[in-house]
Amino acid sequence: MQSTALTLSPLTPLLRPLNKNPNHRYGSLWNLSSLKPLGLLRSINGLSFQKASHLFSCSRFNARRINESFLISDGRCDGFKVRATPVPGNIGDTNDSSGLATSMQLGAMFAIWYILNIYFNIFNKQVLKVYTFPATVTAFHFGCGTLIILIMWASNLYHRPKLTRSQLAVIIPLAIVHTLGNLLTNVSIGRVNVSFTHTIKAMEPFFTVVFSVLFLGEWPTFWIVFSLIPVVGGVALASFTEASFNWIGFCSAMASNVTNQSRNVLSKKFMVKNEETLDNINLFSIITIISFMLLVPAAILLEGVKFSPSYLQSAANQGLNIRELCIRSLLAGFCLHSYQQVSYMILQMVSPVTHSVGNCVKRVVVIIASVIFFQTPVSPINSLGTTLALTGVFLYSKAKQLKPKPKVAS
């Protein structure tokens, strides 16, 4: 599902604290701005330094590795010297090993992201096949996520955010469309094959471009428009040849594209001030909690109380395996929230474009895994349509990297 990534890649930018000391290399030695003027300034190599002999002992001050070499001397016993020391020759090896460790960590996180997504779609489809109440199932997913979030905050695994009214005013509309997007995706998965739902959801870039033009006035480049042609054509071809096709499943998947991408555009249009911006993980956590509170009464209103002991007992009498239903529902809720959390952790480590490409690969992996697991019959033309659509999504991700050439003033 639910690349609800709040594509959210675009959803809210990660606010990183400003580095107050740009010369961080010297931060462990001294802070020149904190030295009190004693009246005498020396200019050495074009730089001015204030005399600060009362802060440092001439016999105990040791300078560490500094790339620039300079000497500060006062000629008196309260002066101090700073000399350059050679940089160790193995620093490049250290950087290489650090880069390798980061790459291995990213690779592991991408693998976890894909595996959790595969298991979520499998468990979710198994539940929706026998328990045809998508609103109740979606509310249960949000409930599992809410429980995980509360445990995470209570145990200080992640810091708890402090919400302001201005933030809440922005988050509530996002939570509404996020709720609708998840609900509509579950409606589609309950009606058609998982592979077909994810093929339709490959249309997300198309709606991103449309809403960006309508609400943000951002016109796409030629290559972005060009990349959308195989996306639209591939989805159309796959739809015409899909064995499990029905209009409810098709329209609900397409509507989930509309809600998910409108959420992304809204988040960009109504962004709060930078100093008030939440990080991606806390933003997703708050949206999940609000979505749970919104959907529980809506599910009861739409479907009735379908998770009560009395109803489950009556369903068990009709042959439904309640124990397996509960286990798979819990696993689906855990996998959903976990893979979305991992998705945002990856987004904090890579660029949005890289994340978008990874999301495209994830969709391919989920489609292949669901076809194999559920033994979904796939015709050659249907495979061609799915391949075309996913290729278009990949090209769209690459086209986003191309920056338009600046117009030269005549």
In degrees rounded to 5, what are phi and psi of residue 337? -65, -40
In contact, 392 and 237? CB cutoff 8 Å: no
Which residues are paired to 49 by β-bridges?
42
Which residues are paired to 47 by β-bridges?
44
CA neighbor of 285 nearest in space, from 109, 151, 108 = 151
Decide: residue 39, CB within 10 A, 0-12 exposed, 13-18 middle, 19+ buried: exposed
**C-alpha dist (Å) from residue 97 to 100, 128, 225, 349:** 5, 46, 41, 17
In degrees rounded to 5, what are phi and psi of residue 193? -65, 150
pLDDT of residue 1: 42
Torsion of CA 13, 15, 19, 22, to 10 degrees: 10
Beta-carbon contacts of residue 365 (< 8 Å; ≥ 6 apart)? 114, 117, 118
How open is the CA angle 180-186-190, to the nearest 5 degrees? Answer: 145
Q: How far apart are CA 352 and CA 348, in angstroms?
A: 9
pLDDT of residue 50: 41
Which residues are paired to 42 by β-bridges?
49
Element (H, E) at 48: strand 47-50
Q: How far apart are CA 182 and CA 142, in angstroms?
A: 10
CA 263 centroid distance within chain: 14
3-class SS of residue 260: helix
Two structure tokens written together for 149: 């979030």
3-class SS of residue 41: strand
Element (H, E) at 301: helix 280-303
3-class SS of residue 44: strand
- Residue ranges of the alpha helices (H) in 192-246? 194-200, 204-211, 222-240
pTM above 0.85, yes or no: no
How open is the CA angle 106-109-110, to the nearest 5 degrees? Answer: 85
CA neighbor of 113 nearest in space, from 405, 287, 344, 275 = 344
CA-based end-to-end distance of the chain = 50
Count CB neighbours of 31 within 10 A.
11
In contact, 248 and 191? CB cutoff 8 Å: yes
- For the chain, which ranges sit under pLDDT 70? 1-97, 266-277, 352-353, 403-410
pLDDT of residue 127: 93
* Domain boundaries, given as residue ranges, for the chain: 108-402
CA neighbor of 182 nearest in space, from 105, 260, 87, 249 = 260
pLDDT of residue 261: 77
Which residues are paired to 249 by β-bridges?
none
3-class SS of residue 30: coil
DSSP 171-192: HHHHHHHHHHHHHHHHHHHHHS
